[in-house]
Every structure is written in C-alpha cells, then in structure tokens.
C-alpha cells in the first residue's frame, strides 16, 4: 500500500544530546553544599537530569527537568532529598533567548524534539510563538465526536509536487515539506550537508540556495533543488541538468524587493571559487532579475530551464506583494509547477530590519489569498503552492496547509534544531558564534555532520507524528484533504468557542 | 548632471555607557581556573575588551556581548549567566519603546541602518504604524538597478503652493506668477521639541544638523538669538510673538515662516508676503477631527503649506483620538475629493519615531514630516521626561556639544534617508513625491484581517 511505503521510507529516531556542556532549559536545578551524596535524586529522576558524582551528583541535563509540575509526582527530587539540598527555579536566562516569533518555549521545544524525537513534556508551548497574530492566533477546530479510529500507518503525509498534468515525471515526497535554500557561504558546509543528508533520509528535497552546487552534494542529486537567483552565482547547465527540481528565486521574504548581500568576510576562497568571484569582497545579488522585464520574459525564463533539463520541475519563489495572487497566476501560465510564497520571517543573511518588518504581507495572509484566487481561476489543481518564511513547527505547517498551501518549505527550524538561539547575529564578524551560519573554519568545527543530520531528522520525524495526530483528530486520512480547509481553522480574535460546533484548541 | 544628494556619516561615539537589553552575570566563587576558560574563547572578545567606565562605574561588557550564550553553555561550573536588564525595560514608554530608542541610538552612533540576520522576529502587527505593510514589485519595475540604483531615487520634496496650470497672455508671455517654493532634499523638517533640558547646545546641534542635511529646523521666535543668524537659510521661524518684533534683515532673509493657526491666519500670511514675497508660510495647527474640513477651507483660501501636529504618541486632539496615519488618510482623501490636493503641501508631525513611519505616513497622504523626539534620542536621550519636571538630565543634555550633537542627528537622518530608499526601491518608485498618497501600494491590517482571518472557521 502506498501510504505504508511512505512510513517505511522514513528513518529512525536516535537520541542526540546538546553539543554544549550546559544545555539551555526553562528551569535551573542546583545542588547546595548540604548534599550528602546519598544518590536518591539520581535514582529517582526518570528524565536523567542527574548523573552520579564523587562528591555530589552532577546536574547533567536540567533542560530535561519537568519543572514545578513535577511536585505532584512521587519521584519529585526536591521533596525527596533528605538534606533539602536541591533547588529548583526558573532559569533567568531563558527569557532572553529568541524573539517574539521564536519564543524561548518554542526554541526549547524544538531542541527537545531534535534531541529526543519526542514531543516536549516540560510544560513548553510547542504549538505557538508570542507574535500576537497570524499563526500564533490561529487554532484548529476539532470535531467533538470522535470518528472511527484511524491507525497511524493509514494516514498519508505524502504530496505530489507535479500537479500540472504535463509529460514530466511526478515527484512524490512522503512528507509535505522540503528544505529551503541556504547557500554555501551563508551557512557552513556542515550545516548545508546535514540539511541535505536529512532531506535525503526523509526522501524529500533540499535546495542549494544561490551560492552554487558544491561537489559534496553530487551524491544527493536526486534530493537537490538547484536555485537560479538574480545573481546567477554558481548557475551552470551542468548543475541544472543534475536535479529533479529547479527553483527560480525572484525574491525572498527576508528582504522583499532588495538584493542579496554576502558580506566580504564570508567570501572565503572556497566560496569565491564556487561563485566565480574574488575572495574577501562583498557579493551583491541584484534585484530583480535583469533578464526579466515582463511576464513574457518570465515565461522565457521558465522555458530555458525546461529546455535545458527535460525532466525537471520548475519552481518559482516569490515574496508577498499586494498582488501576489496575480504573480502566482502569471507563474502558472508561464509553466511553473510550483509556486513558493516566501514570507519575511525566515532567512540567515543580513537584511535591513526595515525590510523584514515592513515590506510585503505576512505569509499567513498571502497563502489563503493565492489559494482563493487560483481556485477562482480554475487552475488551483494544476499547481503546487509551497509556503515558506515563517513555518516554525508542525502546527504552523498544518495551519499553512489548511490556509491553502500543498506543503511547506523550511529552513530556520533546521537551524534551531542545530541549536540556533535566534540571536540575529548571523552576519556579524566571523559569522554565527555557534558555528551554524558561518564559513569560519574554527567555528564550523563546533558541529559534526552526523550529529547535525540526526538532529534535523529527529525534529522532522516528531513534526510528522504531530501532523498525523492533527489529521486523525480532524478525521482525515491524507494531508491532501487538509489543503484550503478554511472551515477547520479559526482565528482567536474573530471566533469564539460558543459560536462553533467543534472544539477550538486553546 | 546635478550633484546627488549624499549625507556624510561618521561614527560618533556614545558619551554614556549603552543601556543594553541583557547583562552578563559572572560569579568568581567556585571558579576552577580552567586553562581553556570559556571567557578566553569568546568570539566577540567581550571579556578581552572589557573596560570600566569610571564616571558611571559601568562595564563595557554588556554592550559588546551579542547573546550567543557560548560562555553560559560552556562554563563547567555554570558560573556565567545572562539576565534581562531592568533599566532597559524601563526605557521610554509604550510608544517610545526600548527597541525603538536603542535602534535610534545605534543609527546615531554608527551612521548605518540596522541590519540583522535571521529573518523578522517581532510582533505580527501592532497599533498605529505597525498595522500596515508596504508593497514591493516582484518582476517589472522602473528602478531596475538594485542596490546600485538607489542613488537615482529622489527624496526631494517641495514646500509651497502649486499652480494647477500655467496661463499665458495673447503675446505668449506667462500671465501668472508661480508662487514661491522651497525645495528640500529629504522629506523631513526638524521640529521644536515637546520637552527638553534647557541650554543652547541642543538648539545649536539641531540647527547645525539641519544645515548639513540641507533642510530646516523650526525655531521659536522667542528662542531666536543673534547667534542663530548664520543659520537663517535653514530656519523656519515659528511666530510666537509679534511679526513687528523681527528684525527686518532677518525677516527678509527667511525662506520659511510658520504661523500658528487662528481665524485670521490667511490675512497674516498675506501681510507677511508684502514684506518678503519669496517667503513660504506654513500654518501650524493641532491635528483634530476637524482638520480635514479646516485644511480644505484654508487651501481654498490660499494657504501654501499646513503643518498638522499630533501629540508625541501620534494622537490627534480629541476625546477619542484617531492615530496620525488614519486622520491623515481622511484629510488627504478629502482634499482629493475637493480637487485641491496638489495645491497644498501637507506636513505631519508627532509620533514619528522610526524611518518606516516616514514612508508609511507619506503613503497615507503627507508630503513631508516633522521630527522632534528622535533628535533628542540621537543625542542619547532616554525619554525619561525628567526634564519636563525640571529634574537634571541623566545624560547631561544641557551641556551637549553642538558639533557632536549635529553629527549624531546627521547620522540618524542619514539612516532614515537610506531606509526610505530601501522602501522606495522595493516598490520600484523613483521619487518620494510619487509615494505620497499611494495607499494602493500599501496593505492595511484591518482590511487583510477582515478579508482573510475573519472568515475562517465558518462551516458550509
């Protein structure tokens, strides 16, 4: 059976702890001098917070601590300690982490999923952030009556990316997502490869981004999307022919209407070689495409790729202006298989704050707007809509699909799985101090490829499980049934529990 | 080809230690003295660069730290922690938020626009200016030169009345006299401050700033001193006394005068014109629910420019005040309806706190804006408003050096100018004059929510 194959195609979870000595968690656990090293706490804690020590136990994994709610449990160490030597309190540093979109809770939840492959139990909100609108105010409306129980393995999360009905091969992915472009240069080769390997393991895709096609990626050709962006850095006929999907990047949500800018520091000799540029000098990717002046030119662009690679699907990535729906229609008639709508919440590179915050509409508006318009035009079934630039969790993914996307494209979540803390300094100095978005050799060495790959796999396997559980609660057997179901989703500002039949998840 | 408008910027150091969002807390007790201490490994060399500011007994540590948490996560005894800085949370108020204030400080110090990695991390939307987004052009656009074409975008604005058409007599000679127009290279006037510590330093810094930017500072007649005479071509004199008290040489040298609104304001304008025909007069009035009607009337009676001023939170004078952008949309559209919009220059002020507010307010119908509190913030003001109560300024603004102050103001305005270019470039608009009233190139929260989110969850 098809759906079973999808499940069987998936890799396994392996436990992958933090690469830092002290993992960050919501709570702080300390053992005071009064400790007599009786070892009760080590034995009691089922979450492995403590490790035995010679003078006193060591708090080895306070991020796994259940926190205050644990006081109801038999094994609550604070009460059981005969010397009253264990102190539990909120971690004061926790609230500094992240931002309004990626709240500390959401970061810690993602780390937990990446480490354990499990949904967090520490009282962390893993469903929404703190942005006060959009996804963070949208909720599913679940039917009150439980339908017949659907076994997990009968729920399909697979989607077909080629819906056009043309003669090109179908591309079916077992999960409704692929990984977005992060160029070599903006992230380290370890980050890049770990994302590609995770994508391959999940039988989906990962995009190269604008910086070319490093040779390390050649073994993964079948899981690569190569990007043609306005700077045409690293674009060659050879790399275009390798892949099953080619992506045009017209604009990106993080800096809509502005070009890309790779700071000189990040243009190492290797980056420079791949981009056919000079090491140490900043690279501008202009905006927009200088070969496209009209929608006819846009079609010629798409035709060029189709001519070069007869089996490739063409994806068009755009940001979200007022007339994003018209742009989507134009791309459909130009022959695109996929239209990717990119919101402004993602990205690793440097972008002016004014652009990220103010230019173009939030992705939560753009997706339903395009979905409705394409439906009215009678072409919705012929094109795949992919939402990106703001999908932080399984819940965001499911909401984006309910708002009208077929699937989503992800990036920032991967970085968070690799222990990004959203400090927003990817661009400064030697690049990311945590070794994720940098080409600095020393910093790149902070992370191992296998570690990184498995963290990303763990997170996405957890996402998939959550998606399956959402689909089951909605009585759906396939994620394709969720597309554009405006009736199963509500906005907390406009809908009250008493007005609806179902159960609004608060 | 005329010279391109360029604002010279240069780093202008802070006089006081920055108030940062978070602080490093490091304990010594229990330290293992590891040879490879995490403090030595700091990517930003925070611990190497640390120095004590003797005047304030504050450490430089926190302003260099970029919150990467490497030391917090690396110390084997967990002796390093980070915590929220309560003084940061206490900056400003609900409108002049710590984020806005520290963003303005950065621009005034560095002369650069705020840039960061990792996408947008802020609120989905918010009140006022945070409830709108600006448009961009995906494919076809006039400013095709991307990052290198920005210098061809014009931010020049005119202040003055416009003729709708030229008229000629039988001989073909022009039979009308075009009214005087003052052209400024960026759509910003430096306004009088709602509150500030005393002292000439602040005023001179603003004047010097206006001069180097090529714009005008609005100066009260009662504050005018002979020392300001060298700035006459950059002063818009606000008449808070008798016109007859102004020295004739000063009056004839002025290009802009601001008159407080009164029933006789048009008559007063006409009287001024007799003495100095090249003068452009601006009528200053509080923004209120009656503004639209009043502005249409004044325009029809011959007003040249009207300066509508909201309070420091961008609110009009009313029991149930509208925000500046909403009221301005109303005024702009009423003028369009009356067929006189292009005759008058609309200047808006009050609550303009960030570069994005400039672009958004112009989209909502203003020709140009006036800035006030950000000028003080450029000089390290913390918006504590103690000066209003007569309490000494914590950053000693009374004695500020005008040269330093002017360079900070210039840096900040250069940042705003550059950010305005980003918005215009993304929209494919080559002139800020064309941005005015372009509401079709903006997206409003209320409309989008109504169209999209309010309809969700309804079955059938």
Over residues B422-440, the pLDDT tens digits come to 999 888 888 999 999 999 9
Residue holding tokens 């139990």? Answer: A121
Which residues in chain B are closer than 8 Å to A362, comparing Cβ atoms?
124-125, 133
What is the per-residue pLDDT across A119-131, written as a single tens digit (0 to 9) for each? 999 999 999 999 9
Q: What is the pTM assigned to this prediction?
A: 0.95
pLDDT at A350: 79
User: Residue B183 burial (CB < 10 Å; 0-12/13-18/19+)?
Assistant: exposed
- pLDDT tens for A73-129 read 999 999 999 999 999 999 989 999 999 999 999 999 999 999 999 999 999 999 999
Q: B100 is written with which tokens? A: 């806005």
B429: nearest CA partner in chain A: A257
Q: With CB atoms and an 8 Å threshold, state whether A322 touches B452.
A: no
pLDDT tens by residue, A313-359: 999 999 999 999 999 999 999 999 999 999 988 877 778 999 999 99
CB proximity B99 to A under 8 Å: no
Length of chain B: 460
Segment A402-426 shows an average pLDDT of 96
What CA–CA distance (Å, rounded) separates A398 from B73? Answer: 33
Question: CA triplet B411, B413, B419: central angle to 5 degrees?
Answer: 105
A503-504 β-sheet, strand order: A489-491, A138-142, A503-504
- At B57 the pLDDT is 53
A300 lies within 8 A of chain B by CB: no
State whether B453 and A500 contact (CB < 8 Å): no
Q: How far apart are CA A289 and CA A213, in angstroms?
A: 20
Residues A11-57: tens digit of each pLDDT: 999 999 999 999 999 999 999 999 999 999 999 999 999 999 999 99
CB contact under 8 A, B133 and A358: yes
Contacts of B148 in chain A (CB under 8 A): 284, 286
B152 three-state secondary structure: helix
Residue B241: strand, helix, or coil: coil
Note whether A492 contacts B: Cβ–Cβ < 8 A: no
Pairing mode of beta strands A338-342, A206-207: unpaired
Nearest in space to B256 (alpha carbons), one of B344, B370, B180, B369: B180
Report the alpha-carbon distance of residue A99 to residue A102 in Å, rounded: 5
Judged by DSSP in three states, A96 sits in helix
Nearest to B69 among A259, A348, A421 (CB): A421
CA dist A411 and B300 (Å) reads 57
Give residues 123 to 142 of A whose Cβ lies within 8 Å of B.
131-134, 136-138, 141
The residues facing B81 across adjacent strands are B25
> How far is residue A412's CA from residue A110's CA, in Å, rounded to a whole number?
11
Contact B457 A500 (CB under 8 A): yes
The total number of residues written for chain A in this structure: 506
**The pair of three-digit structure tokens given for residue B383, joined into one six-digit string:** 């918006």
Across the interface, whether the CB atoms of B148 and A100 are under 8 A apart is answered: no
Q: Give A437 to chain B, closest Cα distance, Å.
A: 10
Residue from A231, A321, A342 whose CB has the most chain B CBs within 10 Å, to mutate:
A321
Concatenated DSSP letters of A56-91: S-EE--GGG---GGGGGSTT-HHHH-TT--EEEEE-
Ranges of chain B with pLDDT below 70: 1-2, 51-59, 139-150, 459-460
User: Which of B30, B153, B456, B460 is the mutation pick for testing A, counting most A CBs within 10 A?
Assistant: B456
Per-residue model confidence (pLDDT) at position B56: 56
Taking contacts as CB-CB distances below 8 angstroms, the residues of chain B near A321 are 135-138
Q: Is A286 on the interface with B (CB under 8 A)?
A: yes
Going by C-beta distance under 8 Å and a sequence separation of 6 or more, which residues neighbour residue B52? Answer: B58, B59, B60
Cβ–Cβ < 8 Å for A101, A389: no
Asked if the C-beta of B86 comes within 8 angstroms of chain A's C-beta atoms, the answer is no
A356 in contact with chain B, both atoms CB, cutoff 8 A: yes
Say whether A30 sits in a helix, a strand or coil: strand
pLDDT computed for residue A1 by the predictor: 40
* Of residues A322, A421, A425, nearest to B441 (C-beta): A322
**Are the Cβ atoms of A421 and B117 closer than 8 angstroms?**
no
Nearest-by-CA chain B residue for A429: B44
Work out whether strand A260-262 and strand A283-285 pair parallel, antiparallel, or are unpaired: antiparallel
Show the domains of chain B with their CATH numbers: 22-84 (3.30.70.20), 146-448 (3.20.20.70)
Is B459's CB within 8 Å of A501's CB? yes
Interface subset of B 334-373, CB within 8 angstroms of A: 354-356, 359-360
Domains of chain A: 27-90 (3.30.70.20), 181-412+423-452 (3.20.20.70)
**Considering only residues 88 to 117 of chain A, which have any Cβ-Cβ distance to chain B shorter than 8 Å?**
92-93, 95-102
User: Is the Cβ–Cβ distance between A303 and A236 less than 8 Å?
Assistant: no
Judged by a CB distance cut-off of 8 A, whether residue B33 touches chain A is: no
pLDDT value, residue B145: 52
Considering chain A, what percentage of its residues have pLDDT values greater than 90? 74
Q: What gap in Å lies between CA B18 and CA B65, rounded to an integer?
A: 12
Which of B:115-154 have CB within 8 Å of A?
Answer: 115-126, 133-141, 144-148
Q: How close A274 gets to chain B, by Cα (Å)?
A: 22
Contact at CB, A495 and B457, closer than 8 angstroms? yes
pLDDT classification of A2: cutoffs 50, 70, 90: very low
Residues in CB range of B48: below 8 A, 6 or more apart:
B40, B42
Distance from CA of A504 to the nearest CA of B (A): 10
Residue A8 pLDDT exceeds 70: no
> Which whole-number Å values give the CA distances from A365 to A249, B160, B445, in the listed order?
20, 40, 10
Cβ-contact A349, A207 below 8 angstroms: no
Question: Mean pLDDT throughout A303-307?
Answer: 95
Following DSSP, what letter does each residue of A330-348 receive, concatenated? HHHHHT-SEEEEE-TT--S
Give the SS3 label for residue B135: coil
Residue in B70, B103, B140 nearest the CB of A433: B70
- How far B425 CA sits from the closest chain A CA (Å)? 7
Q: Write down the mean pLDDT value for chain A.
A: 92
* CA-closest candidate to residue A27, choices A55, A54, A52, A49: A49
Of A230, A356, A500, the CB nearest to B119: A356
Among A257, A320, A410, the residue to mutate for chain B (most B Cβ within 10 A) = A257
B104, B412 in Cβ contact below 8 A? yes
Chain B: nearest CA to A7, how far in angstroms? 31
What's the rounded Cα separation, in Å, for the pair B384 and A417?
41
C-alpha to C-alpha distance for A168 and A246, rounded to whole angstroms: 13
Q: Provide the token pair at B205.
A: 């810094």
Taking CA–CA distances from B83, the nearest residue in chain A reads A93
| Contact by Cβ (8 Å): A193, A220 | no
Token output for A462:
């957890």
pLDDT at A290: 74
Instruction: Give the pLDDT mean for A188-207.
Output: 96
Instruction: Report the sign of the C-alpha dihedral through residues A218, A220, A222, A223, in that order.
Output: negative
Return the number of CB contacts < 8 Å for A and B.
284
User: Which among A423, A488, A495 is the nearest to B66, CB-wise?
Assistant: A423
Q: Please report the residues numbered 155 through 214 in chain B whose beta carbons come closer than 8 angstroms to any beta carbon of chain A.
A: none
The beta-carbon neighbor of A352 closest among B115, B427, B428 is B115
Asked if A332 and A371 touch (Cβ cutoff 8 Å), the reply is: no
Distance separating alpha carbons of residues A487 and A141, to the nearest angstrom: 8
């Amino acid at each position: 059976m098809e759906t079973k194959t999808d499940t069987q195609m998936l890799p396994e979870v392996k436990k992958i702890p933090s690469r830092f000595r002290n993992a960050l968690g919501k709570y702080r656990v300390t053992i005071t001098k009064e400790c007599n090293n009786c070892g009760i706490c080590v034995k009691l804690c089922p979450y492995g917070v403590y490790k035995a020590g010679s003078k006193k136990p060591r708090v080895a994994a306070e991020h796994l601590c259940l926190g205050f709610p644990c006081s109801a449990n038999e094994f609550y160490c604070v009460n059981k300690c005969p010397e009253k030597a264990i102190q539990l309190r909120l971690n004061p540093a926790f609230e500094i982490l992240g931002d309004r979109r990626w709240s500390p809770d959401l970061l810690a939840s993602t780390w937990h999923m990446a480490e354990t492959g499990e949904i967090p139990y520490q009282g962390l909100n893993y469903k929404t952030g703190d942005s006060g609108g959009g996804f963070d105010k949208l909720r599913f409306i679940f039917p009150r009556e439980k339908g017949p129980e659907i076994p997990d393995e009968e729920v399909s999360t697979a989607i077909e990316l080629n819906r056009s009905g043309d003669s090109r091969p179908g591309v079916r992915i077992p999960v409704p997502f692929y990984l977005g472009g992060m160029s070599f240069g903006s992230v380290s080769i370890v980050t890049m490869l770990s994302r590609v390997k995770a994508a391959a393991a999940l039988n989906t895709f990962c995009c190269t981004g604008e910086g070319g096609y490093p040779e390390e990626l050649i073994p993964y050709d079948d899981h690569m999307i190569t990007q043609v962006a306005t700077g045409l850095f690293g674009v060659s006929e050879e790399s275009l022919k390798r892949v099953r999907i080619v992506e045009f990047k017209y604009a990106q949500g993080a800096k809509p209407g502005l070009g890309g800018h790779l700071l000189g520091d990040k243009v190492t000799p290797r980056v420079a070689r791949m981009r056919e540029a000079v090491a140490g000098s900043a690279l501008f990717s202009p905006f927009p495409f200088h070969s496209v002046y009209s929608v006819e030119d846009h079609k010629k662009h798409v035709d060029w790729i189709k001519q070069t690679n007869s089996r490739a699907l063409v994806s068009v990535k755009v940001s979200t202006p007022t007339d994003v729906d018209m742009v989507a229609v134009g791309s459909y008639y130009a022959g695109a298989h996929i239209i990717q709508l990119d919101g402004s919440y993602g990205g690793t590179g440097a972008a002016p704050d004014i652009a990220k915050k103010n230019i173009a509409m939030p992705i939560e508006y753009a997706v339903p707007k395009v979905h409705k318009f394409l439906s009215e035009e009678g072409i919705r079934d012929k094109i795949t809509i992919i939402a990106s630039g703001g999908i932080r969790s399984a819940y965001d993914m499911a909401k984006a699909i309910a708002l009208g996307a077929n699937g989503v494209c992800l990036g920032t979540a991967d970085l968070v799985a690799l222990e990004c803390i959203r400090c927003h300094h990817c661009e400064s100095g030697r690049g990311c101090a945590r070794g994720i978005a940098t080409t600095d050799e020393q910093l790149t060495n902070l992370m191992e490829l296998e570690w990184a790959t498995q963290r990303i796999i763990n997170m996405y396997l957890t996402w998939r499980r959550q998606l399956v559980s959402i689909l089951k609660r909605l009585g759906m057997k396939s994620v394709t049934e969720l597309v554009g179901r405006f009736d199963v989703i509500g906005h907390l500002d406009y809908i009250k529990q008493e007005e609806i039949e179902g159960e609004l998840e608060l | 080809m005329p010279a391109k408008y360029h604002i010279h910027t240069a780093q202008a150091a802070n006089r006081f230690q920055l108030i940062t969002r978070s602080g490093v807390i490091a304990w010594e007790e229990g330290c293992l003295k590891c040879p490879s201490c995490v403090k030595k490994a700091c990517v930003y060399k925070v611990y190497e660069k640390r120095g004590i500011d003797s005047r304030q007994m504050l450490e430089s540590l926190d302003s260099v730290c970029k919150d990467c948490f490497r030391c917090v996560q690396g110390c084997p005894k967990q002796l390093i922690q980070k915590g929220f800085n309560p003084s940061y949370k206490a900056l400003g108020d609900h409108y002049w938020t710590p984020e806005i204030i520290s963003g303005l400080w950065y621009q005034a110090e560095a002369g650069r626009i705020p840039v960061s990695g990792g996408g947008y991390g802020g609120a989905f939307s918010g009140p006022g200016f945070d409830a709108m987004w600006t448009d961009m052009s995906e494919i076809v656009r006039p400013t095709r030169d991307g990052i290198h074409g920005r210098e061809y975008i014009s931010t020049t604005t005119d202040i003055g009345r416009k003729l709708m058409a030229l008229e000629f007599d039988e001989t073909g000679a022009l039979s009308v006299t075009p009214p005087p127009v003052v052209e400024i290279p960026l759509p910003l006037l430096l306004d009088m401050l709602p509150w500030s510590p005393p002292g000439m330093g602040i005023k001179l810094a603003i004047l010097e700033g206006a001069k180097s930017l090529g714009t005008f500072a609005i100066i009260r007649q009662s504050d005018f001193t002979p020392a300001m005479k060298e700035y006459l071509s950059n002063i818009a004199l606000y008449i808070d006394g008798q016109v007859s008290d102004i020295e004739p040489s000063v009056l004839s040298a002025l290009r802009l005068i601001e008159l407080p609104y009164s029933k006789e304001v048009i008559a007063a304008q006409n009287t001024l014109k007799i003495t100095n025909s090249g003068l452009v007069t601006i009528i200053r009035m509080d923004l209120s629910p009656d503004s639209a009607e009043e502005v249409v009337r004044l325009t029809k009676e011959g007003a040249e420019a009207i300066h509508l001023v909201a309070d420091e939170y961008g609110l009009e004078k009313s029991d149930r005040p509208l925000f500046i952008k909403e009221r301005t949309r109303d005024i702009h559209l009423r003028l369009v309806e009356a067929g006189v919009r292009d005759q008058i220059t609309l200047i808006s002020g009050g609550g303009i706190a960030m570069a994005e507010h400039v672009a958004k307010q112009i989209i909502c119908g203003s020709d140009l804006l006036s800035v006030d509190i950000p000028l003080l913030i450029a000089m390290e003001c913390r918006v504590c408003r103690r000066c209003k109560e007569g309490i000494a300024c914590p950053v000693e603004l009374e004695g500020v050096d005008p040269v330093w102050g002017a360079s900070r103001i210039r840096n900040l305005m250069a940042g705003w100018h550059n950010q305005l270019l980003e918005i215009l470039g993304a929209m494919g608009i080559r002139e800020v004059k064309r941005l005015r009233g372009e509401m079709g190139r903006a997206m409003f929260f209320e409309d989008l929510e109504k169209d999209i989110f309010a309809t969700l969850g309804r079955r059938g």
